[in-house]
Amino acid sequence: MENMLPQHRQELGWSQQRLADELGVSRQTIISIEKGRYDPSLPVAFRLAAVFQCSIEDLFTPQ
Amino acid sequence: MGDKVIARSRWGQARFGGGTAALLSTSLAIGVLISAGLGGLFVLLTDVERPLLAFAVVVVCTLPVAAALGWAVLVERSTLTGAIDKPEDSIESAWYQKATSGAFGDILLAGGLGAAVFSFTGLEAPIGWILAAVLLFAMLDFAARYLWLKKSAA
């Protein structure tokens, strides 16, 4: 799944560790999501959307 | 009212409300009890020439693992340094699931092949050795799969 996570994260000026702390997951999880190697669970996708104040569709695009 | 600040440390604090010292001493006490129980069982169930020495060897060998087990059961995870809030949502959890399910399939395959070999060749081996071999195979298989997934993600 393609995603806009790095762009949204950089807009906020957050590091991967900061985003991981906000979501309560490991930094490796953020790295893998951003690289498109890991599709997050629905709860994590909702938390990401809440953090970036957008919809899940704005963050993820099915390939 | 502000949020309660959780004091985190390397060894954490106890679920029952005690500090690190209480946690470690209770874990050690549990470890000693388990180890002594195992040592006693070993001496009772086996025919050894020097029971006291055998008891001591079993206690010394099992105490670290037993104490660690006590600590793992009693520690409040959120008081550990670096512990994440939602491990079940992290990729490490997905690696764990993949590694365990893959290892299970390998155990079925290896067990089936092993049973066939033993049946056709008439080989015999002590059941304790066979179970130990299966356990070792499962642990190594899981570790290899987990590390491979971790390395692939790097």
**Chain B closest-CA separation from residue A11 CA (Å):** 23
Write down the ipTM of this complex.
Answer: 0.86
- Which residue, B42, B37, B34, is CA-closest to B71? B34
Q: How far is A57 from chain B (nearest CA, A)?
A: 20
Q: How far apart are CA A32 and CA B61, in angstroms?
A: 40
Q: Is A28 within 8 Å of B94 when comparing Cβ atoms?
A: no
Condensed to tens digits (0 to 9), the pLDDT of residues A12-31 reads: 999 999 999 999 999 999 99
Give A2's pLDDT tier (boundaries 50, 70, 90): confident
CB-CB neighbors (< 8 A) of B90 in chain A: 25-26, 28-29
Residue that the structure tokens 């000026």 belong to? A13
pLDDT interval class at B7 (50, 70, 90) = confident
A25:B84 CB<8 A: yes
- Which chain A positions have a beta carbon within 8 Å of B92's beta carbon? 26, 28-29
> Kind of pairing, strands B75-76 and B13-14?
antiparallel
pLDDT of residue B126: 92
The per-residue pLDDT for B1 is: 43
* Coil/strand/helix, residue B130: helix
Chain A: give the shortest CA distance to residue B52, in Å: 48
> Which residues of chain B make contact with A43, given a CB cutoff of 8 A?
89
Determine the CATH number of domain A2-61.
Answer: 1.10.260.40
Domain limits, chain A? 2-61
Q: What is the pLDDT of residue B2?
A: 46
Task: Give the whole-angstrom CA distance, residue B72 versus residue B140.
Answer: 22
Between positions 82 and 101 of B, the ones with CB within 8 A of A are 84-87, 89-92, 94
Query: Given this model, what pLDDT does residue B58 score?
Result: 96
Stated pTM of the model:
0.78
The answer to whether the Cβ–Cβ distance between B89 and A24 falls below 8 Å is yes
